[in-house]
Amino acid sequence: MSENNQNTQDLRDAIIEGNKSDITSIESTKETGKWLEGLPDDLRGVKSLSKFNDLTSLAKSYIELEKNLDKRIIMPGDEASDEDWGKLFIKLGMPEDKKYITDEKKAELLKNNLTDGETLSLYEELFHKGNLTKRQGEKILNQIIENAQNANEELIKAQKASREANMAKFYEVYKDQTSEKLNILKGVMSKYGSAELVDLVEETNYAPVLIDLLLKLGEGIRSDSLVSGKSEPTISDKETAVKEIKRLESDKEFMLKYAGKSHVGHKQAVSELNDLYEIAYKK
């Protein structure tokens, strides 16, 4: 066979094979749509069904659709009950057990004194009443804590500035007498200052009005050794010393100073009681 004849034969064979392929495709398409012939006329005309090759494909698609039905979000109607709405919010992410804050987060907040357990429980109750999702509750809580931290930092700065300003005024007013006035102030606090009074002085950042009042009190009792530093009449006999020990140990205010190492009158109280014990029980 010549080269031209061979080429002609190859071309003829390719055309025949191509026609066979087209015929097979047409027959396959006819087979694909065959299952629709058994359906009523109104269903056979539904275009969306034509994308399924057979009844098996349609059945599989329906099963998948049914699996996803529970994931649908359907808004309750106007007549829906609170229970119906509750189911919707739970589906959206609202915790049924009202637990918006993890145990680890609670422990962290309590350890850092950022809040207390009762307040956290109130927050969780409020979040649940507002139908918040857990994510929403967490974000709101974080913002509340952040705001509280910022406010606390600002408060500490303001208190420090106020205290420094008041102490600067104290030094400015008394100048060379500052040391003496401070001793009088410490003596008054030690002798007559309860824990509440000490706290008050701290909380008011040594407010001039309060400090002046305490200084006037100290000036009025300047002869008292706890204020002026001068010695009180000495107890020298054992019997009197024992009675004084009993009196002091039954005095709640005195024992508060004696036991409280951070109390401004602690050192003086310890010294006084030690001196009495030495007199009462010395050999």
Per-residue tens of pLDDT for the chain, all 283 residues: 555 555 455 545 554 555 444 434 434 444 556 788 778 888 878 888 888 888 888 888 888 877 776 666 677 777 888 888 888 888 888 898 888 988 898 898 888 888 888 999 999 999 998 889 999 999 999 998 899 888 888 988 998 898 888 888 888 888 888 777 777 777 777 666 666 777 777 788 878 888 888 888 777 665 444 444 444 445 677 888 888 888 888 888 788 878 887 776 778 788 888 888 888 887 5
Burial group, residue 276, by CB count within 10 angstroms (0-12, 13-18, 19+): buried
Task: Give the residue from 121, 156, 191 where a domain finishes.
Answer: 156
In-domain check, residue 187: no
Looking from the CA of 212 toward its CB, the CA atoms found within 13 Å total 8
For residue 52, being part of any structural domain is answered with: yes
> Which pLDDT value is given to residue 26?
39
Q: Which domain holds residue 249?
A: 233-283
Q: Is residue 31, in this structure, part of any structural domain at all?
A: yes
Identify whether 207 is part of a domain: no
Asked if residue 264 lies in contact with residue 189, where contact means CB atoms within 8 angstroms, the answer is yes
Final residue belonging to a domain, choices 36, 70, 104: 70
Does the residue 129 lie in any domain? yes
The pLDDT of residue 124: 92
- Structural domain contains residue 210: no
Domain count, the chain: 3
Rounded CA-CA distance 253/22 in Å is 109
Q: Is residue 124 part of a domain?
A: yes
Residue 224 belongs to a domain: no
Q: Which of 188, 282, 187 is nearest to 235 (CA)?
A: 282
